[in-house]
Amino acid sequence: MSPGPCHKPVLLHEVVRLLGIKPDGTYLDCTVGGGGHAYEIARRLDTGLLIGLDWDSQALEEARARLEPFAARVKLVQANFRDLEGVLDRLGISLVDGLLFDLGLSAIHVDSPERGFSFRSDGPLDMRMDREGNPLTAAEIVNSYSRAELVRILKEYGEERWASRIVEAIIRAREREPLERTLQLAELVVGAIPAPARRRMKIHPATRTFQALRIAVNDELENLRLGLEAGFRRLAPGGVMAVISFHSLEDRIVKRFFRNRADRGEAELFKLIRPTAEEIAENPRARSAKLRAAQKVR
Ligand SMILES: C[S@@+](CC[C@H](N)C(=O)[O-])C[C@H]1O[C@@H](n2cnc3c(N)ncnc32)[C@H](O)[C@@H]1O
């Protein structure tokens, strides 16, 4: 298999520099994806170990192929990063020297219409990252949740100002027939937003609705809160935890988490890092990335 579609890892050099990889260290990549960051970590190890987690079996396959040259130094495990402590316990590892969370969608998700994440190509309304472990699809949410619950999801997870209108349109449409396809939903969202507002938008009108559903389907914000807590508990003093986020809801959680640890004297924070203009030109996915990192003091 060729290297995965996650072929342009975001803020790669910055992550590697912050983590300060020691050849004999133990590192945990909580979102190994296509293995791009992991590759750069693994190739700096000699007696050390890299543990890569992903809850998506397709992503793990990509990572396995890409990290093949370093197989002896790498352990890949299918798991939700909120359960990272259980994974480390099973491997007999108490603390790690560095941790990475690279949040959000991988190219595997965006570029596979059948996964249902894209509002630009047709596919089933799925959006599950963990198809084996998670029974809740986006179709289930739009077809069965109450009006109030749908409005809450769109407002809270999508920061969508047209939430009520969009939900009205969803309810009307699902009374006729269930919503099953991504393009069906995307068109409906476009039609629900007043034309003048739509014309002023710099993003596709369905962006926020799709983001909101994806977050709800995958319980992303709760996973992040629990993952950060668990990761910090298992970080060795002197070790660094780095987190790349892609939207303000995630970034707010990360920022608060790190500030809180710094206020308690448990961590020292690095300055926020954003991608350079060159990186964004080469890799538009990097556009909204923010890298926050902290070193554990005690
Ligand atoms: C942006 S990609 C990572 C790309 C990777 N750093 C690379 O260089 O190829 C994010 C990955 O995190 C995974 N992911 C998201 N939430 C997760 C969670 N709660 N537990 C485990 N994996 C998760 C997704 O399945 C996806 O493969």
How far does residue 34's CA lie from ligand 1's centre (Å)?
8
The per-residue pLDDT string of the chain (298 residues; one tens digit each, 9 = 90 and over) reads 233 344 689 999 999 999 999 999 999 999 999 999 999 999 999 999 999 999 999 999 999 999 999 999 999 999 999 999 999 999 999 999 999 999 978 888 888 999 999 999 999 999 999 898 899 999 999 999 999 999 999 999 999 999 999 999 999 999 999 999 999 999 999 999 999 999 999 889 999 999 999 999 999 999 999 999 999 999 999 999 999 999 999 999 999 999 999 999 999 999 999 999 999 999 988 999 999 999 999 7
Under 8 Å CB-to-CB from 216, ≥6 apart: which residues? Answer: 138, 141, 153, 157
Q: Phi and psi for 221 in degrees, rounded to 5?
A: -75, -35
What type of residue sits at position 166? I
Indicate which atom in ligand 1 lies nearest the CA of residue 9: 8
How far does residue 171's CA lie from ligand 1's centre (Å)?
32
Under 8 Å CB-to-CB from 142, ≥6 apart: which residues? Answer: 125, 150, 170, 174, 179, 185, 213
> How do beta strands 96-102 and 74-78 pair?
unpaired
With a 6 Å cutoff on the Cβ, whether 53 touches ligand 1 is yes
Give pTM, 2 decimals: 0.93
With CA atoms as reference, report the closest residue to 166 among 127, 207, 199, 200: 207
With a 6 Å cutoff on the Cβ, whether 6 touches ligand 1 is yes
User: Tell me, what's the pLDDT at 74?
Assistant: 98
With CA atoms as reference, report the closest residue to 96 among 232, 187, 257: 232
Q: For residue 139, give the H/E element and its range.
A: helix 138-144
Q: What gap in Å lies between CA 266 and CA 272, rounded to an integer?
A: 18
Q: Are 34 and 4 in contact (CB under 8 A)?
A: yes
Q: What gap in Å lies between CA 228 and CA 254, rounded to an integer?
A: 8
Note the Cα 85 to chain centre separation in Å.
19
Residue with tokens 């047709």: 122
User: Tell me, what's the pLDDT at 7?
Assistant: 62
Residue with tokens 């995630």: 250
- Locate 220 and state its tokens: 């992303």
DSSP letter string, 17-39: HHHT--TT-EEEETT-TTSHHHH
User: Tell me, what's the pLDDT at 110?
Assistant: 82
Q: CA-CA distances (angstroms) from residue 149 to 119, 193, 258?
A: 22, 19, 31
Q: What gap in Å lies between CA 56 and CA 51, rounded to an integer?
A: 15
With a 6 Å cutoff on the Cβ, whether 80 touches ligand 1 is yes
Strand order in the sheet with 74-78: 74-78, 49-54, 26-29, 96-102, 235-245, 290-296, 267-269
Indicate which atom in ligand 1 lies nearest the CA of residue 10: 8
User: Tell me, what's the pLDDT at 2?
Assistant: 32
With CA atoms as reference, report the closest residue to 60 among 254, 68, 40: 68
N-term to C-term CA, the chain = 42
Q: What gap in Å lies between CA 141 and CA 212, rounded to an integer?
A: 11
Indicate which atom in ligand 1 lies nearest the CA of residue 105: 1
Report the residue among 2, 31, 43 best suited for mutation to probe ligand 1: largest number of ligand atoms under 8 A from its CB: 31
Domains annotated on the chain, with CATH: 12-108+220-296 (3.40.50.150), 131-218 (1.10.150.170)
